[in-house]
């Protein structure tokens, strides 16, 4: 790694620690040329399958869209950042571990709904109202009734098409 101060091509690792629950490695480095120290972070670069949208278009997986959808649903709800991060990690893990080469937005939405149902029922209903495009109050009531049933989301979360 090149030194960010003097561009010397050689540095040595002084200290390494796992951070972000083991998902990242933090390294303190020292330049062999100017002796300055700096920190680097190392993460695994993971690839995700392309996403097939409702209209049939394919696009690269966008973690920002997934994160912002979850954040909007959980806005002003009593859910900790750790719980949010854990839910996001579980969704990403499920997406990565699918055997299919592509994933439909419907499947991603089902994964999100399953996680939101466990995290916060209000956030679940918020997400469902957009995801399922409720047209009137009757559809909204029907979803609330489904939420009241013990296994309301389990069929959705297992659908892999």
User: In the prediction, which pLDDT does 157 show?
Assistant: 42
| Mean pLDDT for the stretch of residues 9-16 | 95
More confident: 128 or 42 = 42
Quote helix, strand, coil % in the chain, to nearest 5: 45, 20, 35
Q: Do 108 and 69 sit in the same domain of this protein?
A: yes
Four-point Cα dihedral 106, 107, 110, 112, nearest 10: -100
- Containing structural domain, residue 38: 11-43
Strands 103-104 and 51-52 turn out to be parallel
Q: Do 37 and 75 sit in the same domain of this protein?
A: no
37 neighbors 29 (Cβ within 8 angstroms): yes
Q: Do 111 and 60 sit in the same domain of this protein?
A: yes
Structural domains of the chain, count = 2
Cα distance between residue 149 and residue 161, in whole Å:
24
158: pLDDT strictly greater than 60: no
Residue 60 lies in a domain: yes
Q: Do 80 and 30 sit in the same domain of this protein?
A: no
Q: Do 116 and 70 sit in the same domain of this protein?
A: yes
Residues 26-82 pLDDT 10s:
999 999 999 999 999 998 877 889 999 989 999 999 989 999 999 999 999 999 988
Q: Do 33 and 83 sit in the same domain of this protein?
A: no
Q: Interior CA angle at 9 toward 14 and 32, to 5°? A: 45
Q: Do 100 and 73 sit in the same domain of this protein?
A: yes
Residues 101-111 pLDDT 10s:
999 999 999 99
More confident: 146 or 68 = 68
Residue 57 lies in a domain: yes
More confident: 156 or 30 = 30
């Amino acid at each position: 790694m090149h030194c960010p101060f003097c561009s010397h091509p050689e540095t040595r690792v002084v200290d390494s620690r796992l951070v972000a629950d083991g998902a990242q490695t933090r390294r303190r480095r020292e330049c062999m040329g100017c002796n300055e120290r700096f920190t680097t972070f190392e993460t695994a670069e993971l690839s995700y399958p392309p996403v097939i949208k409702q209209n049939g278009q394919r696009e690269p997986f966008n973690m920002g869209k997934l994160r912002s959808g979850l954040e909007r649903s959980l806005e002003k709800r009593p859910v900790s950042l750790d719980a949010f991060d854990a839910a996001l990690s579980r969704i990403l893990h499920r997406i990565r571990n699918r055997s299919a080469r592509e994933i439909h937005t419907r499947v991603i939405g089902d994964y999100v709904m399953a996680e939101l149902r466990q995290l916060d029922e209000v956030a679940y209903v918020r997400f469902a109202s957009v995801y399922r495009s409720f047209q009137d109050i009757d559809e909204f009531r029907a979803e609330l009734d489904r939420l009241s049933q013990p296994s309301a989301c389990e069929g959705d979360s297992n659908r892999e098409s």
